[in-house]
Chains A and B, each alone.
Chain A
Amino acid sequence: MSLTKYESFVREPLVDGDKTYNRVTEDIVYTIETKPTRLWYIGLSISLALLLFGVYSIYREVTYGVGQWNLGKTVGWGWDITNFVWWIGIGHAGTLISAILLLFRQGWRTGVNRAAEAMTIFAVMAAGQFPIWHMGRVWLAFFVMPYPNSRGPLWPNFNSPLLWDVFAISTYFTLSLLFWYSGLIPDVATLRDRAKTKFRKLFYGIASFGWTGSTKHWQRHESLSLVLAGLCTPLVLSVHTIVSFDFATSIVPGWHTTIFPPYFVAGAVFSGFAMVQTLMLITRKVMNLQDYITLGHIEAMNKVIVLTGSIVGCAYLTELFMAWYGANMYEYDAFFRYRLAGPYGWSYWIMMTCNVVSPQLFWFKKLRRNIEFTFIMSVVVNVGMWFERFVIIVTSIFRDYLPSSWSLYYRPSIFEIGFYLGTFGLFFTCYFLFSKYFPVIAIWEIKHILKTSGENYKAKMEDLEKISADEFYAKTHQH
C-alpha cells in the first residue's frame, strides 16, 4: 500500500478544495438531508404534469387505437420509433461512463457515473414505452415472451431483429439497474448511518441491504463491479447495434446499410453524453457540487462529444458516398432526392448542423471549458440527434416503391407529441426524486480517489516530485 500514490501534476485534480473524507460525505448528502428547495418543487410539478399528459395520451391511444397518431400506410414508424431510438441512445452514456471508463481506468468517471447510470435507467424506461404502446393492442404484449403456451404452442420468431431488441433492451435495463444499485448500496448505508428521523432510518435501512463495509464485502463488491463492467461493455455496444438491425436488416433504401451498427453506437454515445452534460451542469449548479464535477470533467465529456460527433459526421458522409457510388437508383433517390432535398430536406440540414458542424467548435479549449456554451451545445446535440432518427425513419419510408401509396406530409398528432412529452415527464420525475433522495455522486468512489486526485492531496505531492525514482519506490513500498 502506497503512502500517497503518485499522481502526475499534468492531470488536474478531480476533486477541488480542501476535502477530508467527512467533508466529501457532508457535501454530497447536504441536499438529501435538507428540505427541498422551491426550484425542486417547481421542477417536479412540471415533470409530473408532463407525465400526466403522457398518461392521458397513452389512454387515448389504447382506447381509440393507433389511429390517434398520424401514422399511415407508408409512414408506419414516425415519432414513436424516433423517440424510442433517441431515448435508448441517451441511455448509452451512463453505461459507457460507468463500465467502459471503469475498464479504461479513467478516474474522472467517479464524479459523474452515478447520475449518468441513473439517467441510463430512466432513459431506458422512457424508451421502452414506445415499442410497447406502438403495438396498438398492448394487452397482447406478452406474446413476445417465449414460453410454452396454449396458442400452438406459438413461439416468437427468434430470427427477427424485433425480438432481438426485446431481449437486448430488457437485458440492458436489468444489468444497468443491477450495476447502478450495487454501487448505490454503500452510499445508502452512509445515509442510513447518518439518519436522524425514524422514516429515514427505516427507508435507508431497507434500501442499504444491511451493508456494513466489511473488507470481504468490499473485495467481492470490487469483483462484482469489475465483471459487471466487463459484461456491460459489449452489452452497451450490442444494444444499439441491435436497434440498428431493426433498420439495417430490412430492404428499405436508406436503412439497408452495413454502416448502421457502428454509426448508431457512436450516435448513441454522442447524444448520451450531451444529455449527461445537460443534467450535470444543472445538478452541479443547483446542488452546489462544483468541487466534484469540475471544469475538467466537463471538458473530458466535451472531448467525447467531439470525437463521437466526428464519427457520426463521417458516417453521414459515407452514407452519401455509398448511395452515389453504389449506383442503385433507389438508394440514390433515398439520399439525394428525399433526404438532402424534398419535403423533409429541412430536417436533414438541422441534423447536419447540430450533429456535425456545431460540435467541431469543441476543438477549441476555451469553448470546451465554457459552461454556458457547453450547456447550449448539449441541447443542440440532442435536438440534432432527435432529427437524425427522424430523418432516418421518416425520409426513408414516406415514399416507398409504389407511388400511389406515397404519404401526404406526415405531422404528429397532439397525442403523439403528448406521448413524447410524457416520457420527458417520466424521465425528469424519476431524476428529481433520485437527486433528492439518493446521492447523485458516488460518495465512496470519490473517497477512493480523494488522496490521489484531490486538490489538497496533490499539493502535498510536491515533495514526492523532487525525490528520485529509487527513493520514491523505497518510500511508497515500505509495507
Chain B
Amino acid sequence: MTIKKFVVGCFDDENILFPAVKKVRKAGYKIHDVYTPFPLHGLDKELGMRDTSLHTVGFIYALTGLTTALGFISWILTKDWVQNYGGKPHFSLAAWIPIMFELTVLFSGVGMTLTFCYLCQLAPFVKKHHFHPRATDDQFVMVIECTSNTNVQEAENFLAAAGAKEVNVQMAETGWWLGRYDMNKKLFDNTTETVTA
C-alpha cells in the first residue's frame, strides 16, 4: 500500500471532460483515473483502456455450469441411482435440459458477479479513497498522478485551463489497482514518487 500525490480536477460537464482527457494525455500527464457518477460511453477508449474480458469469463462459467449439470445428472441417473421412470431410457437428455439450462445461467451469473466484485475490489466494508464527494453526484473527477517528473503547479494550471471547475492536490492511498489501466502500461513505467503520510 502506497500513498501518492495526485492532482485532482473536477469537471461538471462531460462535453468539456472529453477534450480535456485528450489534452491531458497528449501533454504526457499520467491519468490515474476518472471518476464519474454514471458510465460515460467512450471514456474508457479515450483513456486508452482495453476492453474488459468479463464477458469471456462469464462464458467460461456458463460452460462450467452446463458440464456440471450434465455430468452430475447423468452420473446419478445412469450409474449411482438407476431408476425406471415409466420404462424410459436412463439417459434421457431432453428431460434434463431445464436443469442444465438453469445451472448454466446460475454459474455464469454468480461467477461473473463475484469476478466483477473481485476485479473492482468491491465488497462490504471495503473503503477507498474518494477524491471528491460529488463524484457520485454530478462531478466528473479527473485524477492525475504526480510522478517524479510532474510539476504540480503546472499540472494544476493545465487542468484549470482544460476546463476543470475545481482543482486541488491530494495525497491518497492508492490501493492495489494502480497501473492496471493502460493497454501498453507505457504511461505507468515511470517510477512513482512515494511520500509517507
Q: How large is the interface on A (under 10, 10 to 19, 20 to 34, 35 or more residues)?
A: 35 or more
Contact present for B99 and A25 (CB under 8 Å): no
Q: Which of A194, A214, A223 contacts B35 (CB 8 A)?
A: A214
A227 touches B58 (CB 8 A): yes
Compute the total of residue contacts between A and B using a CB distance below 8 Å. 212
Q: Which of B105-113, B153-161, B162-170, B186-194 contacts A (4 or more CB under 8 A)?
A: B105-113
With contacts A227-B55, A447-B38 taken as known, whether A146 is within 8 angstroms of B72 at the C-beta atoms is yes
B137 touches A210 (CB 8 A): no
B150 interface contact, C-beta 8 A: no
Taking CB atoms, residues of chain A closer than 8 Å to B55 are 223, 226-227
Q: Contact at A220–B15, with CB atoms within 8 Å? A: no
Q: In the assembled complex, how far is the CB of residue A271 from the closest CB belonging to chain B, in whole angstroms? A: 22
Contact A158 B73, beta carbon cutoff 8 Å: yes
A185 surroundings in chain B (CB, below 8 A): 122
Q: How far is the CA of A182 from the CA of B110 in the complex (A)?
A: 11
Question: CB within 8 Å of A: which residues of B?
Answer: 14-15, 18-19, 22, 33-44, 46-47, 49, 51-52, 54-55, 58, 72-73, 76-77, 80-81, 83, 85, 88, 92, 95-96, 98-99, 101-103, 105-106, 108-110, 112-113, 116-117, 119-128, 130, 133-138, 141, 177, 180-181
From B36, B49, B51, B177, residue with most partner A Cβ within 10 Å: B36
> How near does chain A come to B103, taking the closest CB pair, in angstroms?
7
Q: Add 9 more A-B contacts to A155-B76, A214-B34 (CB < 8 A).
A: A1-B42, A171-B105, A207-B124, A217-B122, A218-B40, A220-B116, A221-B120, A223-B52, A227-B54
Which residue in chain A gives the minimum CB-CB distance to B132? A193
B135 contact set on A, CB distance < 8 A: 193, 212-213
Contacts of A175 in B (CB 8 A): 105-106, 109-110
Is A186 in contact with B46, judged by CB distance below 8 angstroms? no
Please determine whether B39 and A206 come into contact, CB atoms closer than 8 angstroms. Answer: no
Interface pair A213/B36, CB less than 8 Å apart: yes
Is A164's beta carbon under 8 Å from chain B?
yes
A215 contacts B37, C-beta separation under 8 Å: no
- On whether the beta carbons of A153 and B81 are closer than 8 Å, the reply is yes
Chain A residue numbers with a CB within 8 Å of B35 are 212-215
| Nearest neighbor of A206 in chain B, beta-carbon distance | B124
Contact present for B41 and A1 (CB under 8 Å): yes
Any chain B CB within 8 A of the CB of A433?
no
Of A154, A245, A448, most B-chain CB atoms within 10 Å: A448
Residue of B15, B33, B77 touching A215 (CB-CB under 8 A): B33
Q: Are B136 and A216 in contact (CB under 8 A)?
A: no
Q: Does A22 contact B138, Cβ atoms closer than 8 Å?
A: yes
Contact of A155 among B41, B80, B124, B180 (CB under 8 A): B80
CA distance A203 to B49 in the complex (A): 33
**Best-surrounded residue of B81, B88, B123 (most CB of chain A within 10 A):** B81
Interchain CA distance A51-B127 in the complex, whole Å = 37
In the complex, per-residue mask of A1-40: 1 if CB is within 8 Å of any chain B CB, else 0: 1011000000000000000111001000000000000000
Tell me whether B126 and A210 are in contact (CB under 8 A): yes
12 contacts between A and B (CB under 8 A): A152-B81, A164-B99, A193-B135, A194-B133, A205-B127, A209-B123, A210-B125, A215-B40, A219-B52, A224-B116, A226-B55, A445-B38
A168 touching B98 by the CB < 8 A rule? Answer: yes
Chain B residues with CB under 8 Å of A216's CB are 33, 44, 49, 52, 120, 177, 180-181
State how many angstroms separate the Cβ of A213 from the closest Cβ of chain B: 4
Please measure, in the bound complex, the distance between the C-alpha atom of A25 and the C-alpha atom of B108, giving whole angstroms. Answer: 33
Least Cβ–Cβ distance between A241 and chain B, in angstroms = 8
* Residue from B44, B95, B124, B127 in contact with A159 in the complex, judged by beta carbons closer than 8 Å: B95
Q: Which of A3, A186, A223 contacts B38 (CB 8 A)?
A: A186
Q: Which residue of chain B has the shortest Cβ distance to A187 in the bound complex?
A: B136
A43 contacts across to B, CB distance below 8 A: none
Do the beta carbons of B116 and A25 come within 8 Å of each other?
no
- Min CB distance, A21 to chain B, in Å? 4
Binds B, one of A228-236, A390-398, A419-427: A228-236
Q: How far is the CA of A207 from the CA of B123 in the complex (A)?
A: 8
Contacting pair A157 B126 (CB below 8 A):
no
Interfacial chain B residues near A154, Cβ < 8 Å = 81
* Closest A residue to B62 using CB positions: A231
A238 at the B interface (CB under 8 A): yes
Please measure, in the bound complex, the distance between the C-alpha atom of A193 and the C-alpha atom of B35, giving whole angstroms.
13
Among candidates B47, B83, B95, B113, residue contacting A224 with C-beta atoms closer than 8 Å: B113
Quick one: given A210-B122, A213-B136, A238-B101, are A193 and B81 in contact (CB under 8 Å)?
A: no
Kindly report which residue of chain B lies nearest to residue A175, judged by CB atoms. Answer: B109
